[in-house]
Amino acid sequence: MKKQYVIFLILAIASIIFACSIRKLSDQTGDGQSGDGSDALEISENKSPSENDETPEEADTSAEEEEDETVVSENRDTPEAKEQKTDKPVIVEADILKDDFDSTLNWISRNAGKSIPLDLSGTVNYGGRSKTYSPSDDYKEIDEALDSYRLTRVAASARDSGAPLTVDLYRDNKYNIINKIVLTEYGSDGRIITGWYFKDRDIIYEYRIGTDLYGAGQAEKDYPLNEKRETELLNEGYLIYDTLKQVPGYARIYGYAGDEYGGTLANVYATIRSEAHAYEEQIQTNGDGYYEFYVPVNTEDYYNITFTYGDWQNGSINDISIVPGTTEYSCGEIFLAPPGQNVHDTDMYLMNINKKPSADLKEGEYEVVLEYNAFKASLKPLGLNREDGTLKTGFSLVINADEAENYKYYVIDSRNARTNNMSYDMSTCEAHVTVYDRNGIVASYLAPAAHAGVAWEVFEIREGRILPINNYFYDTPEDDSIFF
């Protein structure tokens, strides 16, 4: 009996231990959930949202961001990675400009001669970019490196008004994507200049200033930006970026062919060539003797144009340099004549390597020389140091290194500027501006042919870089004392 009692006691203890083990195992494997899942369903339906769960409103926002992310993250890091990897810029393949010579020619064949309209009030596809303006001092790094960036200048127009616009696009050399945009809007009472800086596709800084009619900067003023205006400018910057990011640098070369007596010549064959890329194109002048070519802008090509007209003596314009920043280049008028009747030198060398400056120039200095036919016009050259407002005049001006940081050069028709602003004198007097450094010619400009006007804004120098402007004006500012 005693033996049976001991066995019973041992079995009872074992049963208790087994039951405890089963309960403990159940607690560990299911947080109290039963095998059929009924408890799990009940908990799921009744639990409150945690920090990681989405409300319906948040889910909609998340879906929108996911849609944007599909566009933006293609071939690049995600926005999350963007925050973590500050040393590696965010790149979108669609933002990278392919502008080798042949690609640019292909773009020209499809688009040259057409207006490029900018819709500054359109709908922005943010594509993961910041929708709010948060200024950053990182823009200063872009400005410090600006002289090493590639410049593309685009002549555009406002879609709503048709007003002319000039857009400067600065791209870094490594990735060939836009880091800065400067928009210039032209009005009868002055210019409005707006700038945007980009980092990882976001706008990190923006500004807007107004200046006088010729951009001389004598009456420069800042436009205050409230929160609403900041957002409007932000959207304008993204719209310009998206519209122009695949527009390469190209320029219109144009001019006229005429005879020695002032008449125009139709059906003259004009042939443009560049040895650097084995490029050649031929056209004929129209009834006004006019011709034009559209060519890529770069520093490698020097274009030569030859003119043939039956048995008349051939003419040529050689060494046309279309540097970055050029949107159009006037070749003036080429004069052709039958054998024995030629008076003009029909071969012009714009970048003649044998011509040297008349002044003894130092490193960083330039000499600017204006030449023209004084029997046909009375012109006044003006050099403006925009940093301090200093104005110099003279047919040969030497620009020192300090002036070369921010400088503009104008030619004024002093005979007609206040009495006949629709005069053609400047465009028919063979006005020619040549810029030298200590080694020889670095730039050459001919007055726009067949243009009425009294002010020619020839070029500017920014941080030692010569940028062609070639604007021609017939309207004069109310305060024109700067020019007289």
Question: Rounded to an integer, what distance in angstroms lies between the CA atom of residue 436 and that of residue 133?
Answer: 43
The CATH number covering residue 484 comes to 2.60.60
Please check the confidence at residue 320 and state whether its pLDDT lies above 70: yes
Q: What is the pLDDT of residues 9-58, one digit of tens each?
A: 455 555 555 454 444 434 444 443 333 333 322 222 333 333 333 333 33
- Sorted by sequence, the CB contacts under 8 Å of residue 322 that are 6+ apart come out as 251, 253, 295, 296, 297, 298, 301, 303, 329
The 10 Å Cβ neighbour count of residue 236 is: 23
Same structural domain, 126 and 226: yes
Same structural domain, 328 and 468: no
- Sorted by sequence, the CB contacts under 8 Å of residue 94 that are 6+ apart come out as 74, 245, 246
Least confident of 14-18, 201-205, 250-254, 429-433: 14-18
Among 303, 330, 351, which residue terminates a domain?
351
What tokens were used for 225?
A: 């930006």
Question: Rounded to an integer, what distance in angstroms lies between the CA atom of residue 254 and that of residue 286?
Answer: 12
Same structural domain, 333 and 396: no
Same structural domain, 184 and 200: yes
- Sorted by sequence, the CB contacts under 8 Å of residue 46 that are 6+ apart come out as none
Q: Is 80 helix (H, G, I), strand (E, B) or coil?
A: helix
Percent of the chain with pLDDT over 90: 41
Give the single-character DSSP code of 420: -
Domain residues for the domain of 444 are: 352-484
Same structural domain, 281 and 331: yes
Q: Is 294 domain-assigned?
A: yes
Average pLDDT, the chain: 80
Q: Once rounded to an integer, what is the mean pLDDT over residues 267-274?
A: 97
Among 244, 263, 287, which residue terminates a domain?
244
Q: Is 340 domain-assigned?
A: yes
Report how many domains make up the chain.
Answer: 3
What is the pLDDT at residue 80? 47
Same structural domain, 340 and 466: no
Same structural domain, 375 and 442: yes
Q: Once rounded to an integer, what is the mean pLDDT over residues 123-128?
A: 92
What is the pLDDT at residue 480? 62
Q: What is the pLDDT of residues 380-403, one digit of tens each?
A: 999 988 877 788 899 999 988 777
What is the band of 289 on the pLDDT scale with cuts at 50, 70, 90?
very high
What is the pLDDT at residue 364? 84
What is the pLDDT at residue 477? 61
Please check the confidence at residue 95 and state whether its pLDDT lies above 50: yes
Question: Rounded to an integer, what distance in angstroms lies between the CA atom of residue 454 and that of residue 473?
Answer: 6
Q: What is the pLDDT of residues 141-160, one digit of tens each?
A: 999 998 889 999 999 999 98
Q: What is the pLDDT of residues 355-374, one digit of tens each?
A: 888 878 988 889 999 999 99
Say if strands 150-158 and 164-171 run parallel, antiparallel, or are unpaired. Answer: antiparallel
Among 327, 351, 375, which residue terminates a domain?
351
What is the band of 69 on the pLDDT scale with cuts at 50, 70, 90?
very low
What is the pLDDT at residue 14? 52
Same structural domain, 125 and 194: yes
